[in-house]
A and B are shown apart, each in its own frame.
Chain A
């Protein structure tokens, strides 16, 4: 048997072990990326081969947390894909304003940049005070970072430019104060946000939503897992509620596809038209 095939077995065993021990299911994630992330962790944490991780990770939860941190890709930014936020501001928000209050769910919020970006748009459009925002992820360290509201100053130039392209009404610095080489997001932007651990692969619906953002998360899942998650979203959304995916994600192959209409195509914003239950 070739080395490559043996490595496949090692990865299978590790992922199965993690699932049985901790309930985190990475078995249906894109394999090439998972393997690269494991390789990265292997070198960083000084393991020789993937099999060596298995006993450490099974017996020592802190070792698992370290691994989890590395294999869940938390790359994100403020106002990523600025045109998406233009669509939200100009097309989605007028619709949402017809509700007395709205529930928003960021599924896979990583370190929170996207959550605060949307919060800023909601503030500027006068909808923030009527919004309850849930931001969830499987990565606790990422959630802690999100709660801390602290981001590196070095990113601000890029974020400001994104914000301007996203139809921003002021200067982005209006929402921060600077401290050393960091910026801290204003506390009142966090007031209506609840950060919580939620696993899309294993957990379920937790409330009725008007707007769901799940961007650049499904891209890592295989079709089976994508289907599961999209069904959870369909079950969570109110009639006429919105689902926003990443620019490289579609509902095309989903089982629940007929329950949605394309609301804004390039922005990947879908509207739920399923039968209310």
Chain B
């Protein structure tokens, strides 16, 4: 019997209106959510760790500010520190950099999405939420090219519609979800991954007991 793990990671990008939106989605995920989540939220260069501390307080799932060279593994939400890009290495570790701003932004959503696409290939889900620019559109395109799943928040349910709208108009979005549909969908993905992992584990055990 052959079956494949469908998804291994989720990347999320957002800017204006992102804090409340992230809270509404992430607080509905369980503490043992099966995929690592990496988040870029645009904010002021001098911003402190408020974002990750706040989200960690209101979520069951653990949220932390990403560290350089950190190994990415679930259950965890990794937030890009302000004024640093969050890149994913093909070894599934994190690289923080002070590379030039991309489209006036550091952290850049495109930089996270594009590097994650090369690391996770078709096993990546990219999500664009509320925001007031077009960062993330190029990143979603790259995720799609590598066979990953691309999602945009329904602009009508977004505090600021420009960012999801930009992605939808560029034809790089597979699925449009309203704010309230977002968490249930992600939970379903997580459950599928858990089922897969249990079956995989069982197979492994059977295999081991045969030898």
Which residues from chain A sit less than 8 Å from chain B, CB to CB?
4, 8, 30-33, 36-37, 73, 75, 216, 219-220, 222-223, 246, 248-249
Contacts and interface: CB of A to CB of B under 8 A. Distances in A.
Contact of A32 (B81, B98, B115): B115
Nearest to A220: B97
B98 A75 contact: yes
Nearest to B111: A36
A90 B89 CA distance: 39
A31 B89 contact: yes
4 A-B pairs with least C-beta separation: A32-B87, A30-B95, A32-B115, A33-B97
A158 B71 CA distance: 35
A33 B68 contact: no
A75 B97 CA distance: 10
A11 to B, nearest CB: 11
A36 B99 contact: yes
Interface of B: 67-69, 81, 84-85, 87-90, 95-100, 111, 114-115, 118, 121
A219 B97 contact: yes
A138 B9 CA distance: 37
Contacts of B118: 4, 32
B99 A37 contact: yes
Contact of A33 (B69, B95, B121): B95
A11 B10 CA distance: 27
Residue from B87, B89, B95 with most neighbouring chain A CB atoms (10 Å): B95
Given A30-B89, A32-B115, A248 B99 contact: no
Describe A's contact surface by its main secondary structure: helix
Contacts of A246: 98
B89 A36 contact: no
A37 B114 CA distance: 13
Contact of B98 (A31, A36, A216, A222): A216
B90 A75 contact: no
Nearest to B106: A75
A41 B114 CA distance: 17
A75 B96 CA distance: 14
A31 B90 contact: yes
Given A219-B68, A248-B68, A249-B68, A33 B90 contact: no
A132 to B, nearest CB: 28
Contacts of B67: 248
Given A219-B68, A248-B67, A33 B99 contact: yes
24 contacts: A30-B89, A30-B95, A31-B90, A32-B87, A32-B118, A33-B85, A33-B95, A33-B99, A36-B87, A36-B99, A36-B114, A73-B97, A73-B98, A73-B99, A75-B98, A75-B99, A216-B98, A219-B68, A219-B96, A219-B97, A220-B97, A248-B67, A248-B68, A249-B68
A31 B99 CA distance: 13
Contacts of A32: 87-90, 95, 115, 118
B40 to A, nearest CB: 14
Contacts of B111: 36
Nearest to A74: B100
B122 to A, nearest CB: 11
A107 to B, nearest CB: 15
Nearest to A2: B121
A8 B118 CA distance: 11
B147 to A, nearest CB: 11
Nearest to A73: B99
Nearest to A247: B81
